[in-house]
Amino acid sequence: MADQHLDVLIGCSSISLRDGDHTAKRLWHRLKHTHLVVLGRQVHPRIALPIAANDDGLPVAVPALIKGNLRCGGKLLGPPAIDTAFNTADFPMLMRLSDLPSRYGKRIFGPRP
């Protein structure tokens, strides 16, 4: 990113729907309060994962890829979409280089001149 003078990375993190979408729904309910971008910057899925209005309150483990993205300053861009080809819920994510904590920047990019 730095070599190409890019400051924003946009992609998605996927979660399997093999459990009947319970993990994806619980994860959305947990993270939307703490890691969602402001309203004007949110995106909306073409095929949305049906999200119940109420959270069932059961705990959920954050998958490693999403946890890593969030630790690096990543944010959710909106609710998850269903990817029928891979049977996953895809969480759209944004990571700004300026939000990357310095301890991770050194690990990823090495010492800066």
The Cβ of residue 12 has, within 10 Å, a number of other Cβ atoms equal to: 16
Query: Which one-letter amino acid corresponds to residue 110?
Result: G
Q: For residues 30 and 10, give the distance between their C-alpha atoms in angstroms, rounded to a whole number.
A: 21
92 near 76, Cβ under 8 Å? yes
CB 70 within 8 A of CB 91: no
pTM of the entire structure? 0.83
Other beta carbons within 10 Å of 83:
16
Of residues 32 and 106, more confidently modeled: 32
Q: Could you read off the pLDDT of 46-91 as tens digits, one per residue?
A: 999 998 776 788 889 999 999 988 988 899 999 999 999 999 999 9
Non-local (6+) Cβ contacts of 111 within 8 A are none
Over residues 82-107, the pLDDT tens digits come to 999 999 999 999 988 777 766 665 55
Contact criterion met (CB below 8 Å) for 49 and 15: no
